Every structure is written in C-alpha cells, then in structure tokens.
Amino acid sequence: MTITSTPGGTRTEQPPATGGRPGRARRPRRDRVVEALWGYAFIAPIGLGLAVFYLWPVLQTAYFSFTAWGAFGGHTWTGLDNYHRMLHDHEFGQAMVNTLAYTALGLVSIPLAIVFAALLNRPGLRGVGVYRTLFFLPVVTMPVAIAMVWRWLYNGNYGLINYLLSLVGIDGPNWIADPRVALYALVAVGVWSSIGYNLVIFLAGMQAIPKEYYEAAQIDGAGPVRQFFSVTIPLLSPTAFFVSVISVIGSLQLFDLVYVMAGSGDAARANPAFPRLETVVQLFYDRAFVTNDRGYAAAIVMVLLLVIIALTAFQFRMQKRWVHYG
C-alpha cells in the first residue's frame, strides 16, 4: 500500500486503497489532544533525565570553558584565557597530535574488517559462527582487562611478543616505554579490539546485498576477487562510510586503553614514551579531576568537540567521492 504524500502537509492521512472507511482519516479534536498529552507523558521521564544530566551540562561546560576554577571550588570569568593558554600548551598540542595520529592509523581496522567479513560471507563456508565469536571476544571484554593483558604481552623483559620475536632473531623494543614505537603499539591493540565490532556491521551489510548481483557478475565471468572489488566494495561503501564516521568519533575519545597501558600521574610521566601516548581525553581527565583545573579542562573538551564536528563534516563532504548509494 503506497500512500501518495500530500504536498506540504502530514495532517491528512489518506485511507488505504483497500477498503478503508472514509471519514476515519481525521479523528476528533479531543482524541488528538489526548494523544498529544500521552506523547508528552511518555517522553517526560527520559526527557527530564537527558535535560538535567546531558543537555544542561553541555551548556555549562561551554560556560566553564571561559572560567578559571579556584582550588576550593568557585570560578571566575576569564574570557578566552583558557583557549589562549591552549595555543601555547605544548602538552595539549602533543596530545592532540597523538590523538589525530591514533585516529588516522586506527582506520586500518576498516579494510581488515571488510576482508575478514568477505571471507566469512563466502557461500557454504562452515564455522562462521565460531569465527565470528572469536573475532567478537575482544569487543565484549572489559577494556581495562584488555589493556592489562597487552601491557603484559608488550613487556620488554618478560613479554610473550618479544620472546616470539627473539625466536626469529629480532630484539624487540620495550613497546610501551619506547617513544618510537609506543603509539604504534597502542594502535595495534585498538585495531585488534575493534575489528570484531566492524566485522559484524560489515557482515550485516554484505548479507543485505542481493544475490542477483553476484550471479550476474558470475555469468559475466568474474571470479571471487573480481566480484569482491566490482560488487561487494561499491555496494558496501555506505556501510564503510558509516563505520569510518563512528570509528573516527570513537578514536578521538580514546581513554581506557591508554589510561591503563600508559598509566597516569607522576608514575606515568616517568615513562619516556608518555608524551607520545597521552590522548586529549586523558589530558582532560588529568586537568579536570587530578589537578582540579576544571575551566581549562572544559576548554580542552570544547576543542575536542570542534575537532569531532570538523572531521565528521569533512567526511560527509568527501562521501560524494567514494560512497555509492544503490
């Protein structure tokens, strides 16, 4: 049943073509008032919660970013001071560079997830459920626990990774404490733990591609690899676009992994690689809740918000170049 949309209005519902009763479309005014009241009643509980704990706080944080906080609470308006300070704050600059690098490198997860999803999507393949479960395991495991395990695997002296490398004659670095490799070590864990999540989304996207396309390609003599590039990839591009948007947003907010792997406070700062590991959110945590410099912390997350908006807008602009909507 298709309903032709009436120009410019949703007020009148057209009766369905098959046996609708005429005159039912417009219900009495009293009914509509009752419906509206129920609408507000249904929304009220969560609406109040979101207003108090989410919407109002955003405005407050924006306001706080223009203030300086005293050691014992209380804040004074200081205009753009926090933002000026950020321009000259070397630690903030480095944290931002790290975060952007982590975000860019983390995108490797997408092609990897697509390849594994394509392998799992082969008709007649057995054990798909088992593979999917194994890939998904890191997604459900507590990030703090994951970070602990990888810290241990990365240990320069007793870690399994360096032991395995030594078997093939490579003298591995002290991964998390070596400024040259620390960021890459972190990226590897991020990719490892996000592949399963992306894979599930891509697999769902692939299963939505009509079989006819593959049959047609097969008739034209395309093998599996050719089909992957000519059918799967273009038709999957909207999904890939979505995944890249949420991956970028997620990576820009990285905290848990670094907080555990790099640590925080003075102990962490003793690590020579710490400047290469610290992320923007970690710096925010430190300023807001360790050094109680809340005005500055608020300014830091305001800038993070701007970066997220900018990168998301950039991706939306770029999508014309590579996303095919069927």
Partner 1 sequence: MAEARSRRTGSHFGVHTVLIAASLVMVAPFVWEAITSLKSLTDATHVPPSPLPGSQWSNYRKVFQLLPFGHQFLNTLLMALGRTLGQVVLCPMAAYAFARLRFPGRGVLFGLFLSVLMVPPQLFIIPQYQIMSDLGWLNSLQALILPGMFSAFGVFLLRQSFLALPKELEEAARLDGAGPLRIYWSVMLPLVRPGLVALGVLALLWSWNDLFWPLVVNTDPDKMTLSAGLASLQGQFQTDYPVLMAGSLLASLPVIVVFAFLQRQFVQGIAHTGVKG
CB of 71 to partner 1, least distance (A): 15
Print the SS3 string covering 60-89.
HHHHHCCEEECCCCCEEECCCHHHHHHHHC
CB atoms near residue 280 (< 10 Å): 24
CB of 124 to partner 1, least distance (A): 7
Q: Which is nearer to partner 1, 158 or 317 (CB)?
A: 158
- CA distance linking residue 61 with residue 294, whole number of Å: 9
- CA distance linking residue 110 with residue 308, whole number of Å: 19
CB of 320 to partner 1, least distance (A): 18
- CA distance linking residue 140 with residue 145, whole number of Å: 11
Radius of gyration of the chain (CA): 26
Q: Which is nearer to partner 1, 250 or 275 (CB)?
A: 250
CB of 115 to partner 1, least distance (A): 9
CB of 105 to partner 1, least distance (A): 18
Closest CA to 202 of 245, 232, 231, 222: 232
Tell me the sheet residues that pair with 67.
77
CB of 297 to partner 1, least distance (A): 7
Q: Which is nearer to partner 1, 146 or 182 (CB)?
A: 146
Q: Which is nearer to partner 1, 53 or 87 (CB)?
A: 53
Helices marked H in 253-293 — which ranges?
256-261, 265-269, 274-277, 280-285
Q: Which is nearer to partner 1, 216 or 267 (CB)?
A: 267
CB atoms near residue 199 (< 10 Å): 26
Q: Which is nearer to partner 1, 214 or 255 (CB)?
A: 255
